[in-house]
Chain A
Amino acid sequence: MSALTIPIRKFDAVIVGAGGAGLRAAIQLSEAGLKTAVLSKVFPTRSHTVAAQGGVSASLGNSEEDHWHWHMYDTVKGSDWLGDQDAIEYMCRKAPEAVVELEHFGMPFDRTDEGKIYQRPFGGHMSNFGEKPVRRACAAADRTGHAMLHALYQRNVRANTQFFVEWMALDLIRNAQGQILGVIALEMETGQVVAFHAKATIIATGGAGRIYHSSTNAFINTGDGLGMAARAGIALEDMEFWQFHPTGVAGAGVLITEGVRGEGGILRNSDNERFMERYAPNAKDLASRDVVSRAMVTEINEGRGCGPHKDFVLLDITHLDPATIMKRLPGIRDISIQFAGIDPIKAPIPVVPTCHYMMGGIPTNYHGQVVNADGSVVAGFYAAGEAACASVHGANRLGTNSLLDLLVFGKASGDSVVDAVKKNGAAHQDLPADFAERTLSRLDRLNTQKGGASVDETRLAMQRTMQKHCGVFRFKDMLVEGVAKICEIEQAVHATEIGDKSQTWNTARVEALELDNLIEVAKSTMVSAEARRESRGAHVRDDAPDTPAHPNGRDDEAWLKHSLWHREGSTLSYKPVVLTPLSVETIALKTRAY
């Protein structure tokens, strides 16, 4: 196949991803009359947004007094001051409108007796600038993400959005002036490669948690949009920041909610000791996520892990009344029986800290426009949702802020596209002659590679390396070694071999192409983490400990800045954090303590 024979389809805009972010953006485009194509690896309502159960935050103040400024404060503090305060103000101010809009789209939120949207408390949500907990999370039972996707999808059907389901976008098309002109994509059913030529392209491909061995993310989260952006010469921002959840089922990754410890669950090591008493004498097992995760890793590293490989700890609820477990934690019992083979009424659940959320991503401003390292806008290119870094989560995301992020910045990116397309008129920019060359040679290599590495084994090696060298708790020497190992694995990724060379539904090919993206995410993570010589939010290093000069190991003089990883030469540059909000005063730097 050559670029000359690739079919070209023209749209005003193409969106890669049909999760919450992509669907929210698509509504803006289609309702404004733009001819819009949405590509997705799976049917839209099978996107990973379905997995979100906890809720979406907005200072509606339905249950008690609340204010967007308090929400903003919590988000800046949660981000350990790495979040951009203009974007955070924008998101928190827009939150009530975004949630009410969703309600109008048909989202079945839980309600109060007076018929208002019901709000529940959630970790990190406080009133009056950190004073006391406030009810800010809006939910639809325990299926918030599912209900959200269905509401957004229906709205898109009404607006005539055109979906390309089970299509995988492979690369961005970029011209010599740096403008993005669409994507090249593979139709899985036929194996056909097609160019989607567009005036605007939005990446909304979600997370990339599969770079780690233990992850709560579904298999689909392979960071495709980040790989595409990196290959097109766009830097990736703040990739060292990944949120880990303390309690994923060992070996499976499936999430066990914090609610279990809330009901009295206790973490124990191989000596059957309630070790959290040593690390957090007051909060104990209910200390914050990062504190608990680090304590667990320390226990495992010091040889007090459980099981034949001493590589997990135990979450014990056997002392609770079985009736309580059946009544309050039925879902957890189901998960434990299914994925650990253990009935938690009778025996404790094996758990490990598990990768959960990617704070970094494709750098954007709060309009959803992708930005270069110098702050200028990349023409024709937008991003939203977990794939983007606006940056509202900074060094650590607050629970329920990601569903909000995808609503607010999905819409903002859509609005930006509508403005740009209206302003720039009817014509498409010409495609460069070699627009598909790099993609086709990647496909060609896969078809002809001999004596190469297995995709499964290479991916596993990458995942193990990330888990061991760049996990919850990071060590200088391990990071240095990790960079070398990941570079070695990268070579294997560029020489993977697949047995199946067929055209139709060739899942082996698709998995090899996904691995091309995973490795970009893994490498950017390892390299950025090795370089950042401080502890901040989710990035915690043993050589940057808590000292009076640097509480929690955070070093604002040297490191209050965003990392930008450039694929070419694997180099880093840095850009300042935006400390000036849009309308209010800056939220001044403080030690993050709860």
Chain B
Amino acid sequence: MDAAEQLNRLRWRCTRRAMLEMDILLGGFLERRYASLTPEQADAFVVLADMEDLELWPLITGKRECDNPLQAQVVAMLRDVRIK
């Protein structure tokens, strides 16, 4: 799969979530922040996007600790996504 295809797949998985909250956050992040991530951060984001919504939401609200500092960095950026 080339990079454009990979990005398209990620877009689908970020904007067709189980919960509206996550469509807005992950979709918004992909559109506005993803391109500026380092390769390591981008990988961490893909791991987050693969999680189920009810696993991911507690990380975003801080109810659960992130697995590693890189993940925590990306989660902090996710929190910053605001509605357009």
Residues from chain B with a CB closer than 8 A to the CB of A219 are: 15-17, 20, 23, 27
Stretch at the interface among A499-507, A549-557, A570-578: A499-507
User: Could you list which residues of chain B lie within 8 angstroms of chain A, going by C-beta atoms?
Assistant: 1, 4-6, 8-9, 11-13, 15-25, 27, 52-54, 60-61, 79, 82-83
CB pair B20–A216 under 8 Å, yes or no, is yes
Which 3 residue pairs spanning A and B have beta carbons closest together? A50-B18, A505-B8, A334-B61
A500's closest neighbor in chain B, by CB? B8
Given A50-B53, A188-B12, A220-B16: A339 in contact with B21 (beta carbons within 8 A): yes
Q: A251-B83, A504-B5 are contacts. A45–B21 as well, Cβ < 8 Å?
A: no
A252 CA / B15 CA spacing, docked (Å):
14
Instruction: Contacts A338-B60, A341-B82 given; indicate if A254 touches B8 (C-beta within 8 A).
Output: no
Query: How many pairs of A and B residues are in contact by the CB < 8 Å rule?
Result: 89
Name the CB-closest residue of B to A331.
B61
Mostly, the B contact residues are helix
Residues of A within 8 A of B61 (CB): 334, 338
- Give the residues in chain B near A253, CB-CB below 8 Å: 20
A51 beta carbon closer than 8 Å to chain B: yes
Residues of chain A with a CB closer than 8 A to B79's CB: 338
B5–A47 CB distance below 8 A: no
Residue of B nearest to A219 (CB): B23
Could you say which residues of chain A place their CB within 8 Å of the CB of B54?
A: 50, 143, 146
Whether B20 pairs with A254 at a CB distance below 8 angstroms is: yes
The answer to whether A47 and B18 touch across the interface, beta carbons within 8 angstroms, is: yes
- Pick from A45, A218, A335 the residue with the most CB of B within 10 Å: A218
The chain A residue sitting closest to B18, CB to CB, is A50
Residues in chain A within 8 A of chain B (CB atoms): 41-42, 45-51, 143, 146, 166, 188-189, 215-220, 251-255, 334-335, 338-339, 341, 500, 502, 504-507, 510
B8 close to A252 (CB less than 8 A): no
B19 and A218: CB pair below 8 A? yes
Residues of A within 8 A of B22 (CB): 218
Instruction: Establish whether residues A45 and B20, one from each chain, have CB atoms under 8 Å apart when the complex forms.
Output: no
Contact across chains for B8 and A51 when beta carbons are under 8 A apart: no
17 contacts between A and B (CB under 8 A): A45-B52, A46-B17, A48-B19, A50-B52, A146-B52, A188-B9, A189-B9, A217-B20, A218-B18, A219-B16, A219-B20, A219-B27, A251-B83, A252-B24, A252-B83, A505-B1, A510-B12
Q: Which residues of B contact A189 (CB under 8 A)?
A: 9
Most chain A beta carbons < 10 A, residue from B11, B13, B16, B82: B16
Q: Which of A218, A251, A341, A504 contacts B23 (CB 8 A)?
A: A218
Residues of B within 8 A of A143 (CB): 54
Question: Given contacts A46-B16, A218-B19, A339-B83, could you give 11 more A-B pairs where the C-beta distance is less than 8 Å?
Answer: A42-B13, A49-B18, A51-B18, A166-B12, A188-B12, A218-B22, A255-B20, A502-B8, A504-B1, A504-B5, A505-B6
Q: For residue A254, which residues in chain B have a CB less than 8 angstroms away from its CB?
A: 20-21, 24
